[in-house]
Structure 1
Amino acid sequence: MRIGVTAVMLSDQTAFLTRWAAYLSDRTQTSVSFVVRDQYRAVMELMSAGQVESAWICGYPFVRYQSSLRLLAVPLYRGMPQYQAYLIRPRGTTTPQSWSDLRGKVLAYSDPLSNSGWLVAQAQMAAAGVASTDLRGQFFAYGHRNVADAVAARLADAGAIDGYIWDTMLKLGMQGALQTEVVWRSTPCGFPPFVTPSLVSPASVEPLRNALIEMSKDPTGQGLLDSLNLSGFVDGSPALYDSIRQMASQTPNSGVPS
């Protein structure tokens, strides 16, 4: 069984995914492997081509392509299936203090299909009356960890980032978080889910769903969750992503109908 993922924030990503794949292989009694890509679009293409049976994606591509997807499991962060998007700036600076302060600034994004790394920024800038043309520039860092690093290095004046990833980087003592600070937090959004293409038989991925949901019940699984800074997994519901769906429907060129 193949699982598509984008790069995680861990410094030992390859070693961690190898351990996680071995754990899931043991629990599902089938061979499990992770297929890593830099962007959500590439992961979505893997699913469309039938090259993966599941994927860990973001809430925005889930609502955009929901007609061809099915929820498999939703991670719990701090005990909840939700997270927040952040706007960050270099630590020790005084601006920006809000989205309206981005005029003439460089804003770092992570992925054009990311909720926290693109969609939220588009919606908040529109609400603040800031157009993309008002920015001095855009820095596409591809990956939330790279957004934090770009802002820390002052390649960008601010960054739109996944709050769970920034919090985890801070917990791990990573410089991208230590040298940046949060100036704005969104309301809670549905956490990036594990999904499966709707054409894949539910029975064929049921062992994977069960293995994810059972991870918090044994020491090895809990250790893997601790490495991800997650509490566990639950079934979840499409309703978790209603706020993202509504925001996308009101954002031009989001691909989600109004």
Structure 2
Amino acid sequence: MNRRESLRSLSLAAVSASFPVLAASQGRSFRVGLTPVMLADQFGFLTRWGQYLSERTNLQVEFVARETYQGILDLLFSQQVHAAWICGYPYIRFEAELELLAVPLYQGKPTYQSYLIRSPTNSPTINGWQDLRGQVLAYSDPLSNSGWLVAQVQLAKAGIQAQHLKKAFFTHGHRNVAEAVAVGLAQAGTIDGYVWETMRLQKMSSAMKTEVIWKSEFFGFPPLVIRRGQGDERTAKLGHALNEMANDSAGKEFLAALNLTGFIKGQPELYDSIRKEAQQVPGSGVAP
């Protein structure tokens, strides 16, 4: 079994383990959907974090994993999960139907960047967006800000249209972008900077074999959201528990594992820069 198959198996295990238990206790059950924005998505970690949050909310917090943003949004909109950790782009795109529950803090701030990466061994001549003509580019997800939307704006600025690329493909996961670039499946990839930096901290081989050649402006960090108008005592409890994680030793351990420093409530204005980018991209679903 290769790395990608292993990650998929872990995600599906988290899903299958969640649903039978949830049906038995709907009153206290609180389902949180996770998308590829999550780096530490191992089943054991999710189980321990769910137990930690359950103890602090008097709820039965369960995590449900899906490989794509669309998959987890489908669960949220069909009321199969109560909250979801998604990307800023789908939050902006479906803002009329969503509201913020919590925003992570990365290095003390609720922001992150998109990176363009290359392999110094396989793609030494790629130094920026202008060098991607005739090359293969790896994206993360069609609903990813850092893994797709940002790239559309930058490619347009460089005068490169889709047909000018040799190929572009979605890996459905930021880690998979790094892996595709590291092994030469793509000459460059657009990736969540927080994910890449965390992979480097963990000495993951695909991150160690790639390097950053461009960084974006700062954007609002991928948020946890709920459906608009669905806030209640349970969502308030979970939001409070997330915000308090930085104030106790166990919470700090979970945050450290995620390479985060805390959570805050957050404001919609954090995502104005993503909205402005989306308004420049035809077909983004965000009106000018």
The question of a shared fold, defined as TM-score above 0.5 by the shorter chain, is answered with yes
In the alignment, structure 1 residue 232 sits paired with structure 2 residue 262: yes
Alignment of 1:1-258 (within 5 A): 1-7=30-36, 8-10=38-40, 13-92=42-121, 93-258=123-288
What is residue 20 of structure 2 aligned with on the other side? Answer: none
Displacement of 1:176 in angstroms is 1.1
Aligned 8 A contact 2:90 2:143 in 1: yes
Measured against aligned partners, the alpha-carbon deviations of 1:14-45 in whole angstroms (never above 9, x if no partner) come to 11111111111111101000110000011111
Separation of aligned partners in 2, 1:144 and 1:67: 27
Aligned 8 A contact 1:98 1:183 in 2: yes
Amino acid at match of 2:280: Q
TM-score, length basis structure 2:
0.88
Separation of aligned partners in 1, 2:100 and 2:232: 10
Aligned 8 A contact 1:89 1:95 in 2: no
Q: Name the SS of the counterpart of 1:24 in structure 2.
A: helix
Structure 1 residue runs of 5 or longer lacking an equivalent are none
Amino acid at match of 1:128: A
Q: Name the SS of the counterpart of 1:32 in structure 2.
A: strand
Structure with more contact order per residue of length (Cα contacts < 8 Å, sep ≥ 6):
1
Task: Report the more deviating stretch, 195-204 or 157-166.
Answer: 195-204
TM-score, length basis structure 1:
0.98
Displacement of 1:13 in angstroms is 1.1
Amino acid at match of 2:260: L
Aligned 8 A contact 1:147 1:159 in 2: yes
Separation of aligned partners in 1, 2:204 and 2:195: 11
Aligned 8 A contact 1:22 1:32 in 2: yes
Identity %: 53
Q: CA RMSD in A?
A: 1.0
Separation of aligned partners in 2, 1:80 and 1:24: 22
Measured against aligned partners, the alpha-carbon deviations of 1:175-220 in whole angstroms (never above 9, x if no partner) come to 1100000000001000000111113133330000000000011111
Structure 1 runs (4+) greater than 3 angstroms displaced: none
Measured against aligned partners, the alpha-carbon deviations of 1:229-258 in whole angstroms (never above 9, x if no partner) come to 000001111000000001001111000001
Separation of aligned partners in 2, 1:157 and 1:202: 47
Aligned 8 A contact 1:71 1:194 in 2: yes
Aligned 8 A contact 2:115 2:216 in 1: yes
Separation of aligned partners in 1, 2:49 and 2:125: 40
Amino acid at match of 1:81: P
Aligned 8 A contact 2:59 2:234 in 1: no
Amino acid at match of 2:273: S
Separation of aligned partners in 2, 1:91 and 1:178: 11
Separation of aligned partners in 2, 1:91 and 1:16: 33
Q: Name the SS of the counterpart of 1:103 in structure 2.
A: coil
Measured against aligned partners, the alpha-carbon deviations of 1:42-70 in whole angstroms (never above 9, x if no partner) come to 11111110011101000000000000011
